[in-house]
């Protein structure tokens, strides 16, 4: 199955700043997704990253706050903009691997906003 390299693994950021998280997949994948996992909670889908077009956001998430890029079939970025302490979470990217039809996840980015 596909392997995803996600970075940074963790960061501590000042409120009001932005952080860009990167995910690199070792093979071409049809679909990539971004999730948020708040402390003690399960995963919530932020958006589907579409190759060559705008991402599709879930209810409660907007492009101005979480801009996403997906320039090709192996790479995507998520930016957390104008951060506040409420954005402190683990952010995970995921890819749908059509070969095995299962989902693979990156190792996550633990973000703390102070």
Q: Give me the residues that bind other proteins (CB under 8 A), please.
A: 1, 6, 31, 33, 41-45, 48, 90, 92, 94, 96, 100-108, 110
- 74 vs 104, beta carbon nearer other proteins: 104
Output the CA–CA distances (angstroms, integers) from residue 34 to 14, 24, 64, 73, 114, in the order listed.
22, 13, 15, 15, 23
Token digits of residue 44? 């919530």
- 33 vs 80, beta carbon nearer other proteins: 33
| Residue given tokens 């192996």 in the structure block | 74
Least spacing, CB of residue 92 vs other proteins, in Å: 6
Least spacing, CB of residue 81 vs other proteins, in Å: 23
Least spacing, CB of residue 78 vs other proteins, in Å: 14
- 4 vs 19, beta carbon nearer other proteins: 4
Least spacing, CB of residue 6 vs other proteins, in Å: 7
| Residue given tokens 């039809």 in the structure block | 101
- 38 vs 82, beta carbon nearer other proteins: 38
* 8 Å CB contact between 31 and 48: yes
């Amino acid at each position: 199955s596909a392997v995803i390299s996600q970075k940074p693994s963790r960061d501590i950021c000042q409120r009001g700043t932005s952080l860009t998280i990167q995910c690199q997949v070792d093979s071409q994948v049809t679909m990539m997704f971004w999730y948020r996992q708040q402390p003690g909670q399960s995963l919530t889908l932020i958006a589907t990253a579409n190759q060559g077009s705008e991402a599709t956001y879930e209810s409660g998430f907007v492009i101005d706050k979480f801009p996403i890029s997906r320039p090709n079939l192996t790479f995507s970025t998520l930016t957390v903009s104008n951060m506040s302490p409420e954005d402190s979470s683990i952010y995970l990217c995921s890819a749908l691997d059509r070969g095995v039809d299962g989902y693979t996840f990156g190792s996550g980015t633990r973000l703390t906003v102070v």
